A and B are shown apart, each in its own frame.
Chain A
Amino acid sequence: MAYTASPPLDATTAATEWKPPDRGTVGIASFIVAETALFAIFVAAYLFYLGKSLNGPYPRDVLTVPVTATICLLSSSGTIVMAERALQRHQTGPFRLWWMLTTALAAIFLVMTGMEWWKLIRHDHLTVSTNCFGSTYYGLVGLHASHVIVGLFFLTLVLLVSFRGFPITTQERRIKLLSWYWHFVDAVWVVVFTVVYVIGR
């Protein structure tokens, strides 16, 4: 232990004023950057292969705009914010209510994606191996849906522990990080929606 003495601090860096950002916040932000890069490649692939399929079905023949699912998913970003606000006020009841609503909206979105896929596969005979459109469509929408599944898992987990009496009001920070992830999943859907159902059709 050669050097243990600390030199005096100047005013700007006094230890009491030394408040680096929360590591969880930085971590989840970095994670979102990496996820964005992942999605960007699938989006690029989708756009690149637009109109390049050698055989049908083509997007304009089989895709219908998923209005309800989109409304559900986007409004779940609002409900999760309401849940967070309730948590800030330490109101467990409203928190559970908003959180339950968020989880339900996420589940509805997922079910509707499943129904859309069911229709595409059974009725329109579009699978991942049918053509380039099928590959990129299921790749991109599937990647997003898998993120919804992960989100749904954590949403349900929070719901379960809060109903089993866990003091959820102590977890404001983690709930915030989870909500960031959820907002990201929503924001990605805006991109996917635009690319697949607006530009792609």
Chain B
Amino acid sequence: MASVSHHLDVPESQPESSLSGNMYRWVSTVDHKRLGLLYAMAALLFFVIGGTQATLMRMQLAVPNNHLISPAMYNRLFTMHGTTMVFLVGMPLLAGFANYLVPLMIGARDMAFPRLNAFGFWVFLFGGLLLYYSYIGGGALYGSGSAPDVGWFANAPLTENAFSRGTSTDYWSLGILVSGLGSVASAINVIATVFSMRCPGMTLARMPIFVWLMLVDSWMILIALPPLSAAQIMLTLDRHVGARFFDTQAGGSALLWQHFFWIFGHPEVYILIFPAFGTVSEVIPVFSRKPIFGRQAVVAAAVAIGFISTSVWAHHMFAVGLSSVTNTFFAASTLLIAIPTGIKVFNWIATMYGGKLRFEVPMLFCCAFLFQFVVAGLTGVMLGVAPFNFQLHDSYFVVGHFHFTLVGGFIFGMFAGIYYWFPKATGRMLGQQAGRWHFWLFCIGFNLTFLPMHVMGFLGMPRRIYTYAPGRGWEVWNMMASIGVAFQIVGLLFFFYNVIRSLRSGPLAGDDPWDAWTLEWSTTSPPPEYNFETIPVVRSSRPLWDLKHPNDPDWRYG
């Protein structure tokens, strides 16, 4: 791939293509592109694992009074599914996209701290492996569990020694603590890269929106991840040296854990959705053949979300009985955050309006993203209203809501990004036909699975139950949801087939297959290790447009 290698310590006798030589290059790499791909590959691996766990749960819930899975195993499944999808799929996918794209988009040759970057990846990976080692090493009392079974939010005092015997909760706590270190390292790196590594002329005002969003995202990670680490440290102290932070019998507070967890947990969902926002903001203009509508508004809205996201956490806790003043504040801030989010949606729609739309696969995913994310946002506003929340808290309505944000929003956005940037990363296009099959099957399956969950919630079905009695009107909706999973799986099989086939024999992409405008498309596909032969100089937010249209460059219009 690259003609120049930094790895001069590779023995010269080793042939370029030998397996051990390749392994060595991947393991020892500090190149942001390789690390980005490593992040993405690890995330996809964990995605398959987390998806398998979800499939098992849906199989269990397809019919009432099912005994396919024991209650204890069901607890472990939803704990590991949630933890995996948030920390080992969402965070690394985010870091992977940021790593791969940010330097290319701002005309830099690498991240600000390449070795810190490698550290972040390996720490994340081993944090994930530590969590999964619990299946082997995390013995518990009476064989009641190997993997953690305390939920991804791990409410106190359930996690205390008295209620969580054995070591499974420690694997959960330490695995997240360790992989959290990687996330913070990666966020520091992105911020330093964005501020210090931009090519001449790439002012903040001209920066691609994806980069802007990753900057705000990294800021949120800096603010939100350490509180989680602090809470995990306290929990570990509780479990191992007998501290009383969350020990309710010694005056410790279960509520405090919830506050600490959601101080992290709510910004976290914005952290996860931001790379999707960024991707959509890059893909929609290119496939509408228009610059994004209201660039400044998109960026300002992102910054606004970044700020407000730190003050909405207690809307996860309306049902625990906070004071009405607290409830009012957090309900108001939750409704407030819908405004900048809504601004973005209007920006994307206005970008498409009057554009010359090309419905290629990345654009399809973006369109589905728009519909699904609006649904997710609206149910979010509903849940933000405290009295409504009292009725539906801990019901399947909530499950439907956050899967619409994280699957319908985040995962769809990421698939748009994968189809859009795969040609840049590999030099080959992903197949159109298989891509369309993937999109339609996944989209139908997704809606079939998660739309009925809203109805289940209205019908009173609580979260985290391993089975239910017949006769409450839940059967048909549960069956629909489980059938949807089958569609999603077939769609994903198309995706993986598409990736493997395209890597071998996909049509060559060339430098700029989508006729796009940002800097990553100005270098070769895949880019050389040094990214750019000469460091580019930019004069507008669409530098490649300026190069392609020297008679009508953007910078002429200020």
Contact = CB atoms under 8 A, between A and B. Distances in A.
What range describes how many residues of A lie at the interface?
A: 35 or more
Given A37-B226, A45-B245, A128-B241, A31 B252 contact: no
A41 interface: yes
Contacts, number: 151
Interface stretch (B17-25, B50-58, B191-199): B191-199
Interface string A35-71: 1011011101100110011100000000000000000
A93 B203 CA distance: 43
Contacts of A31: 188
Contact of B192 (A23, A48, A128, A134): A23
Q: Which of B184, B200, B229: most chain A Cβ within 10 A?
A: B200
B465 interface: no
Given A13-B539, A23-B197, A48-B253, A7 B547 contact: yes
Interface string B157-179: 00000000000000000000000
B137 interface: no
A163 B203 CA distance: 43
Interface string A1-22: 1111111011001110010111
A26 interface: yes
A72 to B, nearest CB: 27
B526 to A, nearest CB: 13
Interface in B503-542: 511-512, 522-524, 533-534, 536-539
Contact of B231 (A41, A48, A132): A41
Contacts of A23: 112-113, 192-193, 195-197
A23 B103 CA distance: 14
> What is the interface of chain A mostly: helix, strand, loop, or mixed?
helix
A135 B230 contact: no
B126 interface: no
B546 interface: yes
Contacts of B317: none
Given A1-B524, A53-B251, A30 B192 contact: yes
B313 to A, nearest CB: 12
Interface in A99-129: 128-129
A129 B536 CA distance: 59
B222 A135 contact: no
A54 B251 contact: yes
A15 B203 CA distance: 12
What range describes how many residues of B lie at the interface?
A: 35 or more
Interface in B223-237: 223-227, 229-231, 233-234, 237
B469 interface: no
Contacts of A78: none
B8 interface: no
B263 interface: yes
A6 B231 contact: no
A136 interface: yes
Contacts of A53: 251
B537 A38 contact: no
A143 to B, nearest CB: 8
Interface string B234-264: 1001100111110000111100100010010
A100 to B, nearest CB: 30
Interface of B: 112-113, 184, 187-189, 191-193, 195-198, 200-201, 203, 218, 222-227, 229-231, 233-234, 237-238, 241-245, 250-253, 256, 260, 263, 511-512, 522-524, 533-534, 536-539, 543-544, 546-548, 550, 553, 555
21 contacts: A1-B511, A1-B533, A2-B522, A6-B534, A7-B537, A9-B537, A20-B195, A20-B196, A23-B196, A26-B192, A27-B191, A30-B191, A34-B225, A42-B230, A52-B253, A129-B244, A131-B251, A132-B244, A132-B252, A135-B237, A139-B233
